[in-house]
Every structure is written in structure tokens, then in C-alpha cells.
Structure 1
């Protein structure tokens, strides 16, 4: 599979699921699971390290404590650590998909290792069909209802409610509300960079470097790099610096209500925010009406498909001319 991914999906980052590793560890190291402390230390190695140094230290400790330096399965696992160790892969965007998830839970496949390729492909197509319908309904709900904010006086929460989809707004809101249980301490500063140590209740310390020139807030937890949404630590620093909006560079179009509008990013920025959202809402409402009314009858589906195809061609012509 590794070789196939390299050949066919050369730009993809191949990952090994934590669920898969744990299942194999139960088979390969079953006797060790009976020894006190092994399972806890093993799980910390694979999914609870903040730095590469911490990972290496814990791995060495695991091998020494349980005399596993010559274990072939663990040696092979360590060689492929770039594809599964959380601390090593969190710098790569994964859209919030936890690589520990069991693929059976995504595709709802019966627990049968003999599932054939054709059967899997059919199940996959059913999943895609179902999720596209769910997404269509979510688009309609997203553009037709106002998001509920918790802190009525918070400008940054109102901004997030206006721009993010319902699902992403909930994610943002969870991070934002966790700011209440985070301590912050300034540890270093120069003309442009101020470094902060932040500790979330029950979690390890994270480090954020605030750049006063462009409001960049990179965090050691790497949530933005892996999810494209600001973490609680970055939000806490922005609040401490009296910045009450999400900096433009941290708003990714893929998570916004206008993600599907098709307007090139550079043109979208020319539109006033309020006017842009009103336009998007109106067009989305009209388009969703076309979809929902046309799917019932074959003739109406053909009319809608032909019309939308011609419309898209005309829009692309206009954009090419303007570009």
C-alpha cells in the first residue's frame, strides 16, 4: 500500500491509523499487556507526546523497561514512525480527521475481513451518496439560520458565527470557550516577537509566539497546521493582545459558508463582507431550490443539469476575461 500511494497519489501523506496499531499491538505483544504499566507507556508513546524529544525519550524508556530492544515488530513500527506518531504528523493538514479512527466506523462495514473489492466499492458509493445529501441539507441549514453565540459581547465569536459553517463554528466555539480555563504567562519578548507559555487545565503546556507585525500566532500544539482553525492557545494570546477578531490569514475559505460559491479568492476579497454574504445567501438559496425541486423527475433533472452547465461555462468565460 505504501508503494501504491507513492505511485498513484504522489502528493498525499500516507498514514497508519492508531486504532490499527493498537489492534496489532494486542496480537504481537499480548503477553506484555499483562505487565503493569506497559499499556499506559505504550499509549503515551504513540499518541501523547508534545515534542519529538519527548517521543524519543519515552520510546527508549519503553524498550529498556520491558527489554524490547530486539523485538522485530516494534523495530519495524519505529521505522515507520513518520506515518503514525502524533507528534510527527500534526504539522500536516488532515481536516480534523483523527488518524486513529477505525475505517469501519466511517463506512459502516460489517466486521468481515473477507469483504471483496467490488462489495467495498459499492458500499463506498453509497456512503458518498449519503454524505453528499447530508452536505446539501447542511448547506441549506447553514445559510438559512443564524448561529447561536454564547458570549453576546464577543466580537470574535460573532465574526466566527458569520463566516464559518455550522460544524466549524461549533469547533471554533469549543476552542474559544476553553480560553476560560487557560493560564497565560509571558516568557520572552523582543521588538517583534513575544513568547507565551499557556497551560490548559488538565493538559500539557503549549508555547505561542505572537508577531506584532502581522498578528501571527504559531502554537506548539500545531492545531492550525493540522486543522486550519485556531487553537485555544492562539485565541487566548489574541485576546491578551486586545485583538478581537480572527486575523484574515487564519480564515481558510474551505471552512466558510462561501466555500462553494466559486468566486476566485482574490475577487472575493474585493467584495464588502456584508454584501458578499448577502449575495452568497441569495445564490445558495436559489441553487438549493433548483436542486431540491429537480431531483424528483428525470426531465427536471436534465433541465437543471443543462442549465447549470451552461451557466458555469458563461461564468468561467467572464472570469477568464477579467483575469
Structure 2
């Protein structure tokens, strides 16, 4: 009888897993993915290129075509990110900072969090040395989150664990940063993989690579790094007449 009750209890808990399962994984980085959407998306893409009717050789030929198309799309996205800046929906320093460092896709996610944060209500919940704890309540909600800001280290954390889970700041933390008139995202909360310079760094080439492959890898790296630096130079130079003229004369 006890075993039957336990089975019923476990089944009931499993049926409402969406209400409790996520809590146990909030401190694990999952790139903000809460479902099997990544694998399902890849399965859908692969089905457009390969079929069970293909033999082994045909499979690899079509799979190579898939890789080539994905790399081309990636190159287009890189070029778009390095050559343009997202349009500002409203003039906000921290949003401008996000636009200058994040990729277009991550900028949109950051902007959504920022917009949600604007409507949040807050109040001081307590203080402990350099730390101030804020109670932040989202618009239309009765529940709240606790945001802790440490002025000595310029560090911030939220009980929702959004940063730990997705590696970008949540609306609750952004509300407090805006309230404190902090106009730039603290460096500790900028994950390189979400930025325009995610691919910059040392070029690692296999020891078995030919000299021709090594040269291509170096040229690709130099092009990406110089493109990003050139865009930053143009952005800064366009902000005042003197810098604009100096840059123009330099070319």
C-alpha cells in the first residue's frame, strides 16, 4: 500500500515538473535553454539535407553541404555584427554599451530584460557593510526577487539566478543598476561568447595542418580582428569633428 502511494506521489510530482525542476538547475550555465529546443532544431535542419534513402557516401556529401551552408550563415552574421550597430529604441547609456559589445541576437535579449526592468518596483530590504539588499517586484506580480549590490566590488547578484543560468544580467539586477545610475555593464557580467569579439584570440592550428591551411587560418583571424577594430575606430571618430578629420587624414 505504501509503495502504491509513493508511486502516485511521484507521478503527481512528475506531472508538475515544470513548476519545480528548473529551480534545481538555475546555478548551472545552460545558455538560457530550458527545453530540448537545441537538439530539436538541429534534427529539423539535418532532415532538410539528408534522408534515410541515402547511402553512406551520399550522406556525407549532403552533410558537408549542410556544414558549408551553416558556415556561410555564420560568416554573414559575423559580417553584419561587425559592420553595423543595432538601432536604439530609446537613448539609454547602458543600452548603447550593450549594442557596442554584444552580437545582434544577444543585444535583443539584453534589451528585453532592460525593458522589463524599467517597470519593476524596488525597495531597500536591508544593508550589511558595503552590501545593500533590494527587494525587486516585477510589474503585475506579487512575488519578488532579492538583488544584492556590493559597492566595494561593483558586483551584483539576484535570487532568480538568471546570470548563472544564461550569463547575462536579469531585469531585476538591471533595474538596480539603472537606479544607481551605473551606465555600463560591469566587466564581470560580460561573457565573451556573447560578444562581437568572441572569436578573437590566439589562432590554434593542428600540428598536422599544412602550411596552406595555417596561412588561411591566420588570414581569417586577422581579417575578423581588424574588421572589429576598424568599426570601433569609425564609431569613435564620428563622434567629434577633430577625431573625424584626424582619422580621415590618416587614410
User: Is the alpha carbon distance of 1:304 and 1:136 closer, same or farther for their aligned partners in structure 2, counting shifts above 3 Å?
Assistant: farther
Q: Indicate the residue corresponding to 2:93 in structure 1.
A: 155
Q: Can you list the C-alpha shifts for 1:146-193, whole angstroms capped at 9, x where unaligned?
A: 2211222x1111111111111111111111111221111111012211
Match of residue 307 from structure 1: 215
Note the aligned Cα RMSD (angstroms).
Answer: 3.7
SS in structure 1 of the partner of residue 80 of structure 2? helix
How far apart are the structure 2 equivalents of 1:191 and 1:307? Answer: 55
Alignment counterpart, residue 201 of structure 2, candidates 259, 262, 271? 262
**8 Å Cα contact 2:149/2:157 also seen in 1:** yes
Equivalent residue for 1:215?
154
CA contact (8 A) 2:122 2:137 kept: yes
- Partner-residue secondary structure (3-state), 2:157: coil
Q: What are the ranges of 5 or more consecutive residues in structure 1 without an aligned counterpart?
A: 1-66, 265-301, 315-323
Tell me the distance in 2 between the aligned counterparts of 1:185 and 1:218.
16
The structure 2 residue matched to 1:143, chosen from 82, 89, 93, is: 82
**Relative to structure 1, is the Cα distance of residues 134 and 193 closer, same or farther in structure 2, using a 3 angstrom cutoff?**
same
Equivalent residue in structure 1 for 2:102, among 164, 185, 191:
164
Task: Check if 1:69 corresponds to 2:6.
Answer: yes
Distance 1:164 1:260, change over 3 A: same
Note the 1:215-294 alignment, pairs <5 A.
Answer: 215-262=154-201
Asked whether 1:177 is paired with 2:115, we answer yes
Among 18, 22, 27, the alignment partner of 1:86 is 22
C-alpha separation in 2, matches of 1:238 and 1:69: 47
For residues 124 and 225 of structure 1, the distance between their equivalents in structure 2, rounded to whole angstroms, comes to: 35
CA contact 2:126–2:133 (8 Å) conserved in 1: yes
Q: Which runs of 5+ in 2 are unaligned?
A: 204-209, 223-251
Structure 1 residues 70 and 126, CA gap change in structure 2 (3 angstroms): farther
TM-score of the two chains, using structure 1 as the length reference: 0.53
- With over 3 angstroms needed to count, the CA separation of the structure-2 counterparts of 1:168 and 1:305, relative to structure 1, is same
Q: RCO greater where, 1 or 2, for CA within 8 Å and sep 6 or more?
A: 2
1:127–1:107 CA distance, 2 compared to 1 (3 A): farther
Using structure 2 for the length normalisation, give the TM-score: 0.67
